[in-house]
Amino acid sequence: MLAGWRMRLRLGLSTGALGSDRNAVVFDTFVSKGLQPDPRHTLLASVTATGRYGGGALDETTIGAAARYHWRHSPRRSTFIAFGADRGVHLDLDSQLTLGGDSGLRGYPYRFRTGQGRWLLTAEERWFTDWYPFRLFNVGGAVFYDMGRVWGDNLVPVPATPSGARGNGVLRDIGIGLRLGNSRSAVGSVIHIDVAYPIDREASTRKVQISVQAKRSF
């Protein structure tokens, strides 16, 4: 069995002696654990906390937990499942938690929902090919399903659905994606081209969302 830990702790001090308007301890922590019982299965779990503590209370703080599971069930196919949840404590207007295309809910616009808490579930079936056009990109693909929700102090008015109903519940999407791995890049970036359909589409939401992003993983 392969197991590994990764940890980070950074602390800072905000004090009136240095010109601050308040006394507080600023912190940024990260702990992750990896498990690989065999070459086909990998589980990665992590916990994070960032914010400040002062006056006996947390402020501008976000606490989160996430898990990612990879199952390589054949040389050219794999299943990926990820779940993450975050909770904010006294978040300011500009640091609200968001849910949308920028945070993994690919069938919806960027920052589609904001609030003090969120969770997101993603499931993907991935394909890898040996196609290497022009010796520049390794080509792969994926089909995916995303589901998530935001709660608490939603700062964006909730639009009506096509049927006229309003709500702030779970949002879901399905889609397909093309992956172009740049093997010549020093940072190993992967271009994601995704086409997603929002299952819980609202009146102001497009029927299909197309996104192009550069990421560091498949």
Q: Are 31 and 93 in the same domain? A: no
Q: For residue 94, what pLDDT band results from cuts at 50, 70 and 90?
A: confident
Q: Are 45 and 132 in the same domain? A: no
Q: Are 91 and 171 in the same domain? A: yes
Residue 62 within any structural domain of the chain: no
Q: Are 41 and 101 in the same domain? A: no
Q: For residue 203, what pLDDT band results from cuts at 50, 70 and 90?
A: confident
Q: For residue 166, what pLDDT band results from cuts at 50, 70 and 90?
A: very low
* Domains contained in the chain, number: 2
Give pLDDT, residue 161. Answer: 47
Residue 67 within any structural domain of the chain: no
Containing domain of residue 23, as a range? 1-54
Q: pLDDT at residue 158 above 60?
A: no
Residue with tokens 């609030």, as numbered in its chain: 115
Q: Are 215 and 192 in contact (CB under 8 A)?
A: yes
Q: pLDDT at residue 163 above 70?
A: no
Taking CA atoms, 143 is separated from 70, 127, 177, 178, 210, in Å, by 15, 9, 6, 9, 14
Q: pLDDT at residue 168 above 60?
A: no
Q: Are 85 and 184 in the same domain? A: yes
